[in-house]
Amino acid sequence: MSLVLENPSLIGIGIDEETAAVIGPDGLLEVLGDSLVVIYDARNARHIATDEHGNLSALNISVHLLKNGMVFNLEEMRTRK
């Protein structure tokens, strides 16, 4: 999460063990495996700040939890219909 907050123009993808995120040339991400893929999107975040201890804070961050078999459109930031 901190990496995304430090680079809010980018989308972060976290992949659990025994799980894969297959991204095709069409920008569709398909989840395969036993656990989850997490998408972090801070492009619309507000009030990103760091305190004197280096702790980051922010408002309006989107987090998407995707399980096996789900297909997610990275351009539209939504699941495929």
**Residues of the chain above pLDDT 90, percent:** 96
Q: What is the mean pLDDT of residues 39-46?
A: 96
- Give pLDDT, residue 80: 82
- For residue 81, name the pLDDT band (cuts at 50, 70, 90): low
Please state the pTM of the whole predicted model: 0.88
Token pair belonging to 67: 């399980």
Domain ranges of the chain: 2-72
DSSP string covering 15-54: E-TTEEEEE-TTSEEEEEESS-EEEEE-TT-EEEEE-TT-
